[in-house]
Structure 1
Amino acid sequence: MPTHPVKQPEWIDSAPIIVEETIEIDATPDTVWTHITDHASWPEWFEALDEVQPGSTSTGVGGTRRVVIKPLAIEEEFTAWDEGEHFAFAIVGSKIPMLAAAAESVRLEAIVGGGCRVTYRQGVEGRRFLGALMKLAWTPAAKGLAPALASLKQRVEAAPA
């Protein structure tokens, strides 16, 4: 499987393609954290994903997971892990021919008065001379982020306290 460079979360700010979605959830950051760090359950709320397989070490910086979006498998490595607040990962292996690099970041912030703001950011870079094609290919994935977060909100808010 081709490898991609490990990009840190700060790289997203300067990535050629940036996608960002934010949602407010009526739950504490710790409650939301429990749901989003249950990697195997991601396909239940993130419709684009067919399967998420936690690696042997699936938490903390250096942890890994494998995401399956049929027919593709993507290897990810966690680059940030602040319990209850933030995690980020980089795509480190895929068979996506036009992808040079990608990183994603999920940040949780307590809202004054209650609740949690979830900000999900993606940064993507196409291979040389394929940037425009990569942007075109990434657009459907980007459109799936808002509905995924809405499903996460519904899932978290419906869960027993």
Structure 2
Amino acid sequence: MAKALKQHKPVAEHYLEGAKGTIAHKFPFPASAVWAALLDAEAWTEWLPITKVTWTSPQPFRDGTTRTVEIGDMVIEEYFFLWEEGRRMAFRFDKSSLPISAGIEDYEIVDVLGGCELRWTGRVSAIFPLGFLVSKQLAGGIRAGLPKLEALIAGDKARFGL
């Protein structure tokens, strides 16, 4: 049975100022392919330890879009407060079963020579040491997942518009 969801602080872009750094990964693909992978709900379950992703807003996605992410028996309802089509998406954890007070993730795609770079910044707050531990786990998952995302795109080019 899923745990009850708790409302989190409604943080936005300013909250990223307290983040511990950005994780970046260069892809040998155009930004459009990486963006397509970020829009693909099933793809998230293939490169991160996520069980299910459900977009709960209709397309076209934009500021105010929502989605639900399941990680085992944990549930996170996300609210996208920043949406730059093809380039950037940032969301806060609106409600979740996680023992946190606030959470945010920012995915930005930048063109670089030979492809693009995905830059991720995230921050989670909770009672010490939980905030530190959850933040470290989140960043570690992204760091380990980005090479898997590259392999996923390379292995299924048609799916991601290549």
TM-score, length of structure 2 as denominator length = 0.86
Structure 1: distance between partners of 2:112 and 2:134: 35
2: CA distance, partners of 1:89 / 1:142: 15
Secondary structure, aligned partner of 1:108:
strand
Residue by residue, what CA displacement relative to the aligned partner does 1:8-52 show, whole Å, maximum 9, x if unpaired? 13311125xx35311000111111111111123210111x21111
Unaligned 5+ runs, structure 1: none
Alignment partners' CA distance in 1, 2:58 and 2:9: 20
1:20 alignment partner AA: T
Structure 1 85/56 Cα, relative in aligned 2: closer, same or farther at 3 Å? closer
Pairing 1:77–2:74 present:
no
Aligned-residue CA RMSD (Å): 1.7
The CA distance in 2 between the partners of 1:2 and 1:26, in whole Å, is 40
How far apart, CA to CA, are the structure 2 residues paired with 1:41 and 1:150? 13
State which of 19, 22, 38 in structure 2 corresponds to 1:20.
22
Q: Which runs of 4+ in 1 moved over 4 A?
A: none
State the aligned residue count: 153
73-82 or 142-151, which deviates more? 142-151
Q: Which residue of 2 aligns with 1:49?
A: 50
Q: Secondary structure at the match of 2:36?
A: helix
Q: C-alpha distance in 2, partners of 1:156/1:142? A: 21
> Judging changes above 3 Å, is the alpha-carbon distance between structure 1 residues 104 and 137 closer, same or farther for their aligned structure 2 residues?
closer
- Specify the alignment match of 2:95 in structure 1: 93
Per the TM alignment, residue 155 of structure 1 is displaced from its structure 2 partner at its CA by 1.4
> Among the aligned pairs, what percent are the same residue?
25
C-alpha separation in 1, matches of 2:102 and 2:10: 8
TM-score w.r.t. structure 1 length?
Answer: 0.87
Paired letter, 1:11: Y
What residue number does 2:33 align with?
31
CA distance in 2: counterparts of 1:28 and 1:159, whole angstroms? 14
Tell me if 1:159 matches 2:156. Answer: yes
Question: Who is 2:7 aligned against?
Answer: 3
CA contact (8 A) 1:108 1:118 kept: yes
